[in-house]
Amino acid sequence: MKIPIVWLPKPLTLRNFVEAWNTSFFPHSILNSVQVTLLTLVGDVLTCSFVAYGFAKRRFPGREKLFLLVLATMMIPFNVRVVPLYLLFHKFGWINTLKPLWVPKLFGDNALYIFLFRQFFRAIPDELDEAAEIDGCNPVRTYWTITMRLSGPVIATVGIFSFMFTWNDLWGPLIFINTQSHYTLALSLQQFVSDFGIEYNLLMAAATISLIPCLAVFFILQRQFVRGVALTGIKT
């Protein structure tokens, strides 16, 4: 039995990548995606870790019940929340801007990330926090100078999850953004088909360009990601 040989196209050319890049909206969409992704990443890491620190290291009445309530929000899909969110953002005047895509991330709105941070923080000995308090550190300073400096693996894990989801998110931009100047990369790829028809060569070239940052982030943080997943109790 002969094994079919897959021949590479001849000649090899980068023309499709150049044509995809030179479309009027593509470079600007990448800048929008970079802006939204970086702001979301910073918001997710800082706010979710801060909330998780309270659940993991601070003792207060009803802590466990409140944490279960936070986890219960994972059962509420985005489809259920989209109408009240749209009405709220419309009152704020944020529709057709990038704010609805990243401002909510400044309030620790992702229960999964809070869970991951909490699980990792619980593995850090409480004696370190107690020693910091004896030396005069308040809880906020202890969180920032002690706990976060020991949390590289879980920060990498949450960072990869946040980056991947935000970079590839289509549903949010499709609802809140109307003009092409504010399109993110995922929305531009969807619009790419409408503008140019089904030209698979250009579409695949554009999709390949959009995939490069995701691959780069994953391979750079791969070791920390695997370690963070293992230490937070999530089995792959």
pLDDT in tens, 118-149: 999 998 888 988 888 888 889 899 999 889 98
Instruction: Provide the CA 61 distance to its chain's centre, in angstroms.
Output: 32
Place of tokens 């620190």: 53
The tokens for 167 are 């970079």
Q: Can you tell me the distance from the alpha carbon of 164 to that of 41, in angstroms, rounded to the nearest whole number?
A: 10
Mean pLDDT of all residues in 201-227: 81
201-217: average pLDDT: 84
* pTM score: 0.84
Q: Is the pLDDT of residue 42 over 80?
A: yes
> Average model confidence (pLDDT) for the chain?
85
Q: Which helix (H) or strand (E) holds 134?
A: helix 126-134
Alpha-carbon gap, residue 69 to 47, rounded angstroms: 17
Using a pLDDT cut of 70, give the percent of the chain over it. Answer: 87
Q: What CA–CA distance (Å, rounded) separates 186 from 29?
A: 8
Residue type (1 letter), 33: S
Domains in the chain, CATH or no CATH each: 24-231 (1.10.3720.10)
What's phi and psi for 203, nearest 5 deg? -65, -45
